[in-house]
Structure 1
Amino acid sequence: MCLIETYLQMAQIDAHIKQPNGSIETILDLSNDDEKSRKEIQTISDRIEQQNLNDNNDVENCCNKTTTTESSSNESFVQLFKMFAKFGDCKSTGETITLSNSDKWFKQAKIIDPSNRTITTTDTGIYFKQVSKTKKTLNFKEFNLFLEKLATVKKIDLTELKNKLQQSGPPATNKTTTAVTSGAIGRLTDHTKYTGSHKQRFDESGKGRGKAGRVDVTPNTGYVSGFKSTT
């Protein structure tokens, strides 16, 4: 078979393989002239089938990856809910959350923010109570219903609201009291400047010596004053 006929035959095969009912057997019937042509056709069909198989695997892997990401995202949101539900309450199991802890979560996520009063603690209190009714806490399903009500009334995208809560991270205490060490307070708390008996109340590192720094402790050895041993 000449080269031109081989190219024409390959073009015919490519056109036929794109048909819905194309199969290897049908393709092979297009050319039965010689064994060499059959082998070439078989090689082409195998390559096309392998490519189709790879494409299907890529689509399946992409779908699986998307499902895994969504599942992981939802799991992360549930974990954060439990963390904020237990925050400050050692007896809480994390199954339900109070209004104060919910507001803590909203503030950390910058949803409740003095610079942007789209949502306030008044809003959260109203719609939290609408869902909780006579209860003081919400479980995870009820908390999602609370978010839906809040987003609908305040005209906020629910997905964006949840994303902000999820990106806030675990509960943190960022308003801790720091010791003042400047000015008059610094001078009054500097143990190296103490004099007299007050100087004896601290060791070199500034740590208090306790009772040993306030009273003179006499060793209780059992000997009286002026005793002289005869041994």
Structure 2
Amino acid sequence: MASGDSAALASQFTAFCNFGGASGKTTLTTKNCTKMFKDCKLYGKNLTTTDTDIAFSKVKTKGKTEISLEEFKQLLKEVAPKYKKDKKKESDEAAVADMTEMICKQGPSTAGTTGTSKTGGVAKMTDASQYTGAHKERFDASGKGKGIEGREERADNSGYVGAYKGADTYDKSH
């Protein structure tokens, strides 16, 4: 593996490590490993997700749930024989080189993820100022929820009847 390939592999490895909201990670989960193999189109008739899961378990440190870049390189060597059968490569080393090249060319795919709603009207639903009836009582003027105060009618428990206007005036002189 050339040093350029190694740097590119490290870059893509980090990209897949950080996929899904994490940032600054340098270890790969089994979920992101499977995503990498799918996105880079490394799976075939012989190499399946089960094979990568088994190889992942073999190379990871006991008690850990993620693998480092060095352990990932070992994983590539573990799955190379099945990849070699799928792609008709002459040796395991050629299979590892081909997988590395495929990974270096393809980053994490975001196909199927969208940032906006296709149904429309979501902005209206999240704008509390447009609520009517009992729902508008659940939010203050800024749109922040009132919590339990907005959902339940609380009893006054002051001892006065609800419509009585002279509360706390008995002891006061006129």
With structure 1 as the length reference, what TM-score do the two structures score?
0.44
Choose the corresponding residue for 2:132, options 200, 206, 214: 214
Note the aligned Cα RMSD (angstroms): 2.8
Report the counterpart of residue 54 of structure 2 in structure 1. 126
Q: Which has the higher helix share?
A: 1
Which residue of structure 1 lines up, in the alignment, with residue 102 of structure 2? 164
When Rg is computed on C-alpha atoms for both structures, the one with the higher figure is 1
Structure 1 runs of 4+ aligned residues shifted over 4 Å read none
One-letter code of the match for 1:214? T
Aligned residue identity for 2:48: T
Change (3 A) 1:141 1:213: closer
- 1:136 aligned onto 2:65: yes
Map Cα deviations across residues 121-177 of structure 1 (whole Å, 9 max, x no partner).
1010111111115221111111101100110354351111111111112x2321135
Cα-to-partner distance string for 1:78-127 (whole Å, 9 max, x where unaligned): 0111111121252x633211111011111110113xxx433211010111
2:65 & 2:58 partners in 1: Cα distance?
11
Residues 16 and 33, structure 2, Cα contact 8 Å, conserved in 1: yes
Q: Pick from 179, 200, 223 the counterpart of residue 118 of structure 2.
A: 179
Read off the aligned partner of 1:80 and give its amino acid letter. Q
Does the aligned pair in 2 maintain the 1:86–1:93 contact within 8 Å?
Answer: yes
2:14 to 77, 82, 85: 82
Between the aligned partners of 2:6 and 2:83, the Cα distance in structure 1 is 23
SS in 1 for 2:67: strand
Q: Is the 8 A contact 1:81 1:94 kept in 2?
A: no
1:149 alignment counterpart: 78
Which among 37, 44, 58 is matched to residue 106 of structure 1?
37
Task: Decide whether the 8 Å contact of 2:42 with 2:83 is kept in 1.
Answer: no
Counterparts of 1:213 and 1:152, CA distance in 2? 62
Q: Which runs of 5+ in 1 are unaligned?
A: 1-69, 182-188, 190-205, 216-231
Map 1:180-199 → 2, pairs under 5 A: 180=119
CA 1:207–1:119 in structure 2 vs 1: closer, same or farther (change >3 Å)?
Answer: closer
In the alignment, structure 2 segments of 5+ residues that lack a partner are 86-94, 134-174
